[in-house]
Structure 1
Amino acid sequence: MSAPRSLLLSLLLLFAVLLPHDAHAQATGTIRGSVLDSSGALIPGASVTVTNAETALERKADTNAQGIFVFPNIPIGTYAVTIGKAGYRTEERSDLSLLTGQVIDLQLPLAIGESTETVNVTSASTLIQTASSTVSTTINREQIQDLPLNGRNPLQLTTLTPGAALTATGTESGQQDNTGLTVNGLRPTENTYELDNAVYNNRFFDSVPILPNPDALQEFTIQSSNYSAQFSGAGALVQLSTRSGTNAFHGSAYEYLRNTVLNSYNHFPAKTSAGTPIKPPFKLNQFGGTIGGPIFRDRTFFFGAAEDLEQRSSANPVTFFIPTAAQMSGNFSSVATQLHDPVTNVNYTNNQITRAASPLSQALYKTYLAPLSATAAGQVTLSPNSNVSSTQYLVKIDHKISASNQVSGRYFYNQNNFQRTFTAPTGFFASNLFRNQSLALSDTHIFSSTLTGTVTVSAGRFARTQIPVAPGLQSLQSLGQNVPLGTQVPIFPGIRANISGFVNIFSGGALTQASTTFDERVNFIKLLHRHTISFGGEFERSRINANDYSYVPGDNQFSGARTGNAAADFYLGYESTFTQDNGRTFYLRENRPSLFIQDDFKVTRDLTINAGIRWEPWLPPTDLNQSLVGFQAGYRSTVAPNAPAGLQFLGDPGVQSSIFKNNWKTFGPRLGFAYNVGGSNRFVIRGAYGLFYGFPEGLLYQRTNQTQPRNFALSIANPANAWDNIFAGTTSPFPRAHTPVSQFATYQFTLPVAGGVLDSNSKVATIQDRNITFEAQINRTTAVSIAYVGNHAQHIMGSRQLNPGVYAAGATLANIQSRRLYQGLGAVEVASSYEYADYNGLQVNVTRRVSQGLHVLTNLTYGKVIDNNSSAIEGNAGPPNPFNLNSSRGPADYDVRLRYNLSALYDLPKFNTNRTLGAIINGWQVNTILSAASGTPITVTSGTDRSLSGVGNDYADLIGNPARVSGASYLNAYFNTAAFQQAATGTFGNSSRGILRGPGSLNVDASGFKVFPIAERFKLQFRAEAFNVINRSNYSNPGSTVASTSTFGRITAAGSPRVLQFALRANF
């Protein structure tokens, strides 16, 4: 073990030994301040007590020689602060609301008098942050509980944060797609999620798993810029807090209901043969409950929550074509294109095919296609089922061992089963089972009035199994295909047969994924004179086991290249491409150690400096299978000496255990200030700069799983034999075991080697974050902030084509391989740190705390994100021009220049003068979320490989003014399509990325509640909620591919129409 790692582990072990190992998992904040006399002089030795109003938790401390006190890491909630000293009146401040991660900074005056005299001031916390330079937004319990949420997914509320946008989020389908939160222009995978101060990231995707339902959450905070050195991550820090028990029993029971009748028609509805619009069937029941209270008053509390979701629905209708009965008899006379024999190339007279049909094609047609209801032309319209079943429960225990030790633990479980549908025949889908678990244990121990320590231990396991489903579980092999599976598969392998322009007989790929994370954190907080110093460390261990059998049964593509028609290709069984592998498996192990120190220095009563540094070395993961493959031009492997030049393997000279090089020099300084102008707590100027590091997700390493020698993938273009027995006359290389490392030295590579590699010279991503904020509290209930937020990200890991073909005279699509940069290699995607991004934004935020029944949070963001690639890292070919990676510089795919959000909760005024009128009107609450945004960029592409480079996503040539022609249809001619043409042969197109802008969006969700008091503490609530209540058609971007003539320039899809939901709740 290296010296730096040994030192780090020793320090972490020392921290862990020093602290008691109890269990406590709560979201916390800090209350601190100074005590002054009437002249403004600081008073040392004053006694300060903070008391939680709901649990009676009490902490005590004395002010130090500088008159300063601090209560770090106390559970969120409502507090009273009491200050006393001989010769002074006792001062008490009540109703201080402490939020997650918040620092409440108080200046408390004491008046001369008897200590038995108490001055009680009921004063809510200030709405502005006077002691921290972090830019953050907190969504409280009322907002989580009462704002309308489609699918009851709390992640949707993150968009109420300035600079935040959701590009993809799960709703009815159980939240399994929570992967699209981008904040201040940074990638979704850069975000860090915490649940009760414990890490809550699925490291395979670096996304947030399924969240607890809104009834189980107390609040959450999004720290969007320059957070403390205590925390890792490069993007936003999203801290979610679950509810706790209190001294009073409380709970709820509820059910939410949606069905087809309550929904409106989409702007582009499917229609019956008679032209009648169709609403896809939909029924949703979401029901559950919570309960919390004391086990022993003032000491031990519990909270529990459970919820089930049952959704029975059909996806939007899909339309496709199947070969007609005549065509499956060899009669293609209805096809205008002249067809020819795939072997002899002789034309068929009147398109009557004389070659014998494929028995496999006939069996597949008879089993899956013939039973479908089709028109005479073979058109089929289906509404595939998209059912979801989900259950979750949460248990939490809080216990006060003593005045110096408060402990608790929390366990969260979720299981989600849903059907992933495809444009495929009836009964074809992929059954997905997600099973997620999260456990958090920690303890906060008070050593003295100036020293507090916290140790937190957490574990999370996020597992997924995808099982292909086809009626009768009939595979191609069971239907007669003489092609062995690539390897033995423990579950049904599925079917992959795509007839281009007709139907994709596809049931998804078999796969299993499991991401397990263990995390230990130690944090000390020391009050030293005017300094509040935090220091500690963290050690996170992740294990990712993934098995992907998608291509084990073989992928069969019928494009029409063999006969002139895809259905004729299928009839005869002659494919354009056959691809098969022996399964892709990898077992990653990664350690993420870190140390930090943070000093919040109160220079004066009005000026606070936040300075810190975090050390988090990048130790890229290792693979237990040793399947990772690297690349460095000209390198010759000694581990696998027969490998083409450039390939690197674990054990080669200079190659580390993870291909990427360890980086022990990743120090991240963070510096900020908060200036309380005039000490009035009415106007604050805050600013900060920080250096952050971003580590790639586990999915990145999957790209090497098709690369020899450990794994083997075969791709045959235009196979000589029909698909019934592709390997007739030869020997199939399958089934094939994974090659052990011991055989790498003698392995004979099949050339050219294709797949994916890692650029061994890649660097860790760095993000330089900066902000300046002007914040003012207008009155007791309203605050306004204006902030500039910016960042510069470089060395972001991205995917690109490593081995394109170089254009030369005589170049064709058929001779790309002979023109590739690295002979011996075929098409190879490389993961390398070539990407960058820049964000600059102006953010205006207005908060109105509850006053006269109204709570408002609204913000406006004007910003711009520029990068050179925005696409997902896996399966992305990267910039069209691989010879000039900067040629794709332009607005990011998720760049939205202008975004406005408004959320409001309003309790209608009560009428007490008329009992009858009051019974009708009283108890109503109305709430809304309004969001409006400008459009996202549109990049116009050729749609074919005009550069003949093998990349295939070239830009179009711009030959005119792309603005929509006056009088042209908005939907059918969104832009001037005549201004574009396919790029000239051998070029990458002269138009630029993001040259156009798509339609903007406007959405209004609303809810109305009526409360019926049954008893003093028991109430019934009826809720009605509407999503897209104004039923506005929010159009998707138009087709932007020149070669797709039927959709080019046309808008063919829109967002969800108005959806209604009703609920009945019982609360106590």
Structure 2
Amino acid sequence: MNIVTNAFDAEQGLAGGAAINVTIKTGGNDFHGVGWGYDTNSRFQSRTFFQPTNQAKIPKNILAQFGYAVSGPIILPRFGEGGKSTWNGKNKLFFFTDLERTTQRNAAGTTRTIAPASLRPDANGNVSFAGTGATIFDPASNPDPRLRTPFPGNIIPASRIDIAALELIKRLPLPTGPGFTNNFASTGVASFNRTNIDTKINYVSNKLTMWGRYSRSPTLIIDPPIFGEIGGGALNGGQLGTAPGLINVVGVGGTYTFSPTVVLDGNIGYTRQRLGAEAFDVNTPFGLTVLKIPGTNGPDRLQGGYPFFNITGWNNLGNDNTGNPFLFRDNQYVAAANLSWVKGAHSFRFGADYLNPRINHFQPQGAAFQTVRGSFQFSGTATALEACNAANTGTDVCAKPGASQSVAAASAFNAWAAFLLGLPSGAGKADQLRNPNSVWWKQYALYARDHWQIGRKLTLTYGLRWEWFPVPRKDHTGINRFDPATGQVITGGLSGLPLNGGATSGPGLFLPRVGIAYRYNDKTVIRGGYGQSSDPRPFQDVRNAYPIVNIWSMASLSFNGLSGTSGFIPVTTLRQGLINTSTPPDLSKGTIPLPPNTGTTTFPKTPMRGRIHSFNFFIERQLPAKFAAQVGYVGTRAVGQMGFININASAPGTSDAGRPLIGFGINADINSIQPYATTTYDGLQALVTRRWASSLFGVAYTWSKTLNFADNDGGPRIQYLPAKQLNRGPASYDRTHNLQSYLVYDLPFGKGQRWAKEGLASKIFGGFQVSGVMSIMSGIPFYVVQNTAPALLARGSGQVPNQVNPTIRILGGIGTPTQRGAAGGPWFDNTVLGGPAIFGVTCTSNCSWALENGARFGSAGRNNLRGPGFFETDMSIFRTFSISEKVKFQLRAEALNATNHANFNLPDANVNSTTFGYITSTYGANQSRQWRFGARLSF
């Protein structure tokens, strides 16, 4: 494996952060083999920091890995009379094959809130809300929600309960505990299975070497539902149901030597990736056949299963995963060719790269609520009373006796009542109008590089690379692209339009690379380099562009003679079901208008990719006592980095009227993938190593800072472009200090060592090796935010609180009072003016934070606070037994997080939360000490 992260050689490209080249092993003239098995079992795991003291056992988690690898010359049978019966490929034809199986079984559990038996139909089919403290108003008692009257006795009669609610309640398990909240404990076992198989054949001759490989990796993940048949979410937090996968990779390559100074090499490859996930109920259209809700399940099998029911204050019912089901059928074609030519002190290399990914997906998503099966929200306002307020006071209704002037807000019990009545406050669906939803794109590159040995001490490597990313297309048409100049969606390849929809990607980018190495003396080398790379972000982000994926919410129907202009009027009933009143798009047209309230993704007519500038300077020095050291500076500037930018975001206080595209009637977010900002990285890096015999020691330290506007592929919180600078701050993955150390040490006992070289002592004490890795890192930053206030009215953007105190104290508390009693406390000063009570405490003066309730974004800086640091030590001990000169057997014991040090997640950073400022969970793959045991046999 070869990994380059800065100032690539000209041969490396079509990548931004790192160029990684992985090579499968090759066979040789001798047969070699190895078999291994490793086991990690929670039976040997230590308790985690927040594990309840009354929980006697560590939840089950068993991870097993086992496999083998064999290589050698290929031996084939001979046919015909006389001579040897087999042909031996020694010096000519070799093979390598391996197989590794990974299985994991882990106990999953969660505590959720469901309706107790008292809120379910009794023997007569009625539901009483006595003892809840909530008043359930009958939405049919008066057309006006301000004049509703309660159900007699606070009881919903059986005749009013919707059939869908009855069917769901029949399948909903009863609580496992008392009360109205956190009353249901669900447990189960999630499983993961993966098999990796590789086969490679190599042919060698005087001038030609060739290889061919095939790899196969089937996987299966199973995540059980929380409530059994009616879902409620995945118990282990993944994709509900089964998630099978299969990856096939095939490749061939070769090298031809024309002369000792001219060599040609090349390779081609193909990858087929089929990944999917579907709930256990996908084969039955439960929404139509059992719940009898019109408009839910569609004709495709993948549209089957239970719809999504979101009931405020209670756990979701049905399949609530907006990305489930999905089916990915992705293909990727790659090719590369290189010509090497050595001429005197110059070593020239020329080449070309080709990459052609083709994604073909079924996954109708793009919103936080709508699913392909249909989705319904029950807020409780349908069974609550609307109060008279400044907006309607003085009307005839509010002047009437009995009109409510002040009422309690809708509660979770009102929401449950609305669900029983089948009166949702929101309803919608995600439709994929073409299957598969595809994006196909290509990437081309050419390069030339010279490695020039100028003198005995000085080497110069320089080159130029050209990369081009043409506009993508779909499988049967061109790409869909929203055009902000016309307010229309353009579909390339239709109605006489070109496949690129009129978009052009320009002539590509020319990217210079240069590196220098100077040998100051026999013990000192100075190195430096500079290179440019193009932003490699793929075009798959436009997969869900309208109209292929149509996310819609229901326009309000009439109820009791009133339309749903008020939030207290349901948008539909479960008996009426889902009705999309908008006209479906005509996919045969080259231009399609964007419907009201519909957003989409797009890219500019001339997408210009940013450049990533990388540079470094290092001094390497051989030190006494077999030590070696290097120290240097590494920098990166990603200029014009591509990101999701909402080109229809409005200024604070302007609402939809301030959207730039409102002139076309477009009042939704339009996220464009385009150059947005700059990411900078500056780091001081140092490394000290020592090698002796078969042992190794090293310490690496980095002092660095990364600044950006948004992380990875995400968009900034504040999308209004004139306020762009408010998003600049440390990257969420930035760690100022990073210290890593490692040790591999053969104990000096046994044959060939310093002590106990022979006899019984050698057999007892020989063959031991110890190793360890220690990581110490400073904390990562986090962003203090708030729920967007109604007065902000900046469409497309979020909001942050005001930071009143210029310096926020870090208090260092871990855990809440609920988790740790008096030992719990906030990580930082979490006093908020106007915020909720936090464990019974509210702040009214001298607060460090204040809610921003106006038409302003807020003053809190992005990522200006940091969480806890990170410390972990992994240790291992190996014992190798020499069964014979060529056969070795090894036993291994590894302690991951050997000191059982707890590392913590970031604190709750939302000022509207009742746990604001508190750290409530641990961080990392090894949240407590785990032991892994293994055995390995090699020959």
Asked whether the two chains share a fold, i.e. TM above 0.5, the reply is yes
Q: 1:114 is matched with which residue?
A: none
Distance change in 2, residues 1:386/1:512 (3 Å): same
Distance change in 2, residues 1:340/1:685 (3 Å): farther
* Partner amino acid, structure 2, of 1:888: N
Aligned-residue sequence identity (percent) comes to 23
Q: 2:801 is matched with which residue?
A: 956
Q: Say if 2:461 is the partner of 1:613.
A: no
1:960 deviation in Å? 2.4
Distance change in 2, residues 1:366/1:486 (3 Å): closer
Aligned ranges for residues 1-16 of structure 1 at < 5 Å? none
Distance change in 2, residues 1:760/1:967 (3 Å): closer
Aligned match for 1:397, one of 201, 221, 226: 201
Moved more, 885-894 or 864-873: 864-873
Separation in 2 of the partners of 1:320 and 1:807?
38
Separation in 2 of the partners of 1:461 and 1:530?
43
1:820 deviation in Å? 3.7
* Partner amino acid, structure 2, of 1:783: A
Q: 1:460 is matched with which residue?
A: 271
Q: Deviations over 1:107-141 (max 9, x none)?
A: xxxxxxxxxxxxxxxxxxxxxxxxxxxxxxxxxxx
Q: Deviations over 1:794-829 (max 9, x none)?
A: 222212333335444xx8xxxx54554423223224
Distance change in 2, residues 1:962/1:826 (3 Å): same
1:656 deviation in Å? 6.6
1:1037 deviation in Å? 0.1
Matched-pair contact (CA < 8 Å) for 1:418–1:433 = yes
Q: Say if 2:818 is the partner of 1:976.
A: no
Q: 1:128 is matched with which residue?
A: none
Matched-pair contact (CA < 8 Å) for 1:307–1:393 = yes
Q: Deviations over 1:960-1011 (max 9, x none)?
A: 2563476966753101111223223211111110121011111111211112
Aligned ranges for residues 894-973 of structure 1 at < 5 Å? 894-910=733-749, 911-912=755-756, 915-946=759-790, 947-951=792-796, 953-960=798-805, 963-964=808-809, 972-973=825-826
Q: 1:145 is matched with which residue?
A: none
Separation in 2 of the partners of 1:904 and 1:863?
24
Separation in 2 of the partners of 1:489 and 1:498?
24
Q: Say if 2:211 is the partner of 1:408.
A: yes
Aligned ranges for residues 805-954 of structure 1 at < 5 Å? 805-808=650-653, 816-817=655-656, 820-823=659-662, 824-831=665-672, 832-849=674-691, 851-873=692-714, 878-879=717-718, 881-910=720-749, 911-912=755-756, 915-946=759-790, 947-951=792-796, 953-954=798-799
Unaligned segments of structure 2, at least 5 residues? 75-88, 122-126, 235-239, 366-370, 384-409, 560-569, 750-754, 816-823, 832-847
Q: 1:1057 is matched with which residue?
A: 928
1:471 deviation in Å? 9.9
Separation in 1 of the partners of 2:624 and 2:256?
38
Q: Deviations over 1:685-743 (max 9, x none)?
A: 11111111023224311231xx24x5433113776677995583995569x9873224x
Separation in 2 of the partners of 1:347 and 1:964?
52
Aligned match for 1:236, one of 18, 22, 28: 18
Tell me the number of residue pairs that the alignment of Structure 1 and Structure 2 aligns.
817
Q: 1:290 is matched with which residue?
A: 69
Distance change in 2, residues 1:731/1:493 (3 Å): closer
Separation in 1 of the partners of 2:335 and 2:166?
59
Separation in 2 of the partners of 1:884 and 1:514?
40
Matched-pair contact (CA < 8 Å) for 1:487–1:737 = no
Separation in 2 of the partners of 1:456 and 1:588?
25
Q: Say if 2:937 is the partner of 1:1066.
A: yes
Matched-pair contact (CA < 8 Å) for 1:943–1:952 = no
1:855 deviation in Å? 1.2
Q: 2:310 is matched with which residue?
A: 498
* Partner amino acid, structure 2, of 1:358: D
Q: 1:189 is matched with which residue?
A: none
Separation in 1 of the partners of 2:152 and 2:870?
52
Moved more, 918-927 or 1026-1035: 918-927
Q: Deviations over 1:58-114 (max 9, x none)?
A: xxxxxxxxxxxxxxxxxxxxxxxxxxxxxxxxxxxxxxxxxxxxxxxxxxxxxxxxx
Matched-pair contact (CA < 8 Å) for 1:483–1:725 = no
Q: Say if 2:300 is the partner of 1:489.
A: yes
Distance change in 2, residues 1:897/1:560 (3 Å): farther
Matched-pair contact (CA < 8 Å) for 1:404–1:447 = yes
Q: 2:587 is matched with which residue?
A: 740
Distance change in 2, residues 1:714/1:243 (3 Å): same
Q: Deviations over 1:559-601 (max 9, x none)?
A: 4454412333333333232221322642222221221100111
Matched-pair contact (CA < 8 Å) for 1:576–1:718 = no
Separation in 2 of the partners of 1:964 and 1:277?
37
1:277 deviation in Å? 4.9
Distance change in 2, residues 1:506/1:1063 (3 Å): farther
Matched-pair contact (CA < 8 Å) for 2:164–2:293 = no
Q: Say if 2:494 is the partner of 1:661.
A: no
* Partner amino acid, structure 2, of 1:619: P
Q: Deviations over 1:34-68 (max 9, x none)?
A: xxxxxxxxxxxxxxxxxxxxxxxxxxxxxxxxxxx
Q: 1:513 is matched with which residue?
A: 328
Superposition RMSD on alpha carbons, in Å?
A: 3.0
Separation in 1 of the partners of 2:161 and 2:721?
43
Distance change in 2, residues 1:602/1:337 (3 Å): farther
Q: Say if 2:261 is the partner of 1:447.
A: no
Moved more, 822-831 or 318-327: 822-831
Q: 1:148 is matched with which residue?
A: none
Q: Please state whether the residue corresponding to 1:677 is helix, strand or coil.
A: strand
* Partner amino acid, structure 2, of 1:298: N
Distance change in 2, residues 1:437/1:528 (3 Å): same
1:913 deviation in Å? 5.5
TM-score (normalised: structure 2): 0.81
* Partner amino acid, structure 1, of 2:766: N
Q: 1:770 is matched with which residue?
A: 615
Aligned match for 1:567, one of 403, 409, 416: 416
Q: Please state whether the residue corresponding to 1:884 is helix, strand or coil.
A: helix
Matched-pair contact (CA < 8 Å) for 1:945–1:952 = no
Q: 1:475 is matched with which residue?
A: 286
1:779 deviation in Å? 5.7
Q: Please state whether the residue corresponding to 1:477 is helix, strand or coil.
A: helix
Distance change in 2, residues 1:383/1:264 (3 Å): farther
Q: Deviations over 1:591-622 (max 9, x none)?
A: 21221100111111211111100111121311
1:1032 deviation in Å? 0.9
Separation in 2 of the partners of 1:223 and 1:527?
24
Q: Say if 2:41 is the partner of 1:259.
A: yes
1:441 deviation in Å? 1.2
Q: 2:474 is matched with which residue?
A: 623
Q: 1:165 is matched with which residue?
A: none
Separation in 2 of the partners of 1:567 and 1:230?
63
Separation in 1 of the partners of 2:291 and 2:31?
65
Matched-pair contact (CA < 8 Å) for 1:577–1:719 = no
* Partner amino acid, structure 1, of 2:586: T
Distance change in 2, residues 1:486/1:752 (3 Å): farther
Q: 1:60 is matched with which residue?
A: none
1:1066 deviation in Å? 1.5
Matched-pair contact (CA < 8 Å) for 2:889–2:936 = yes
Matched-pair contact (CA < 8 Å) for 1:630–1:659 = no
Matched-pair contact (CA < 8 Å) for 2:295–2:577 = no
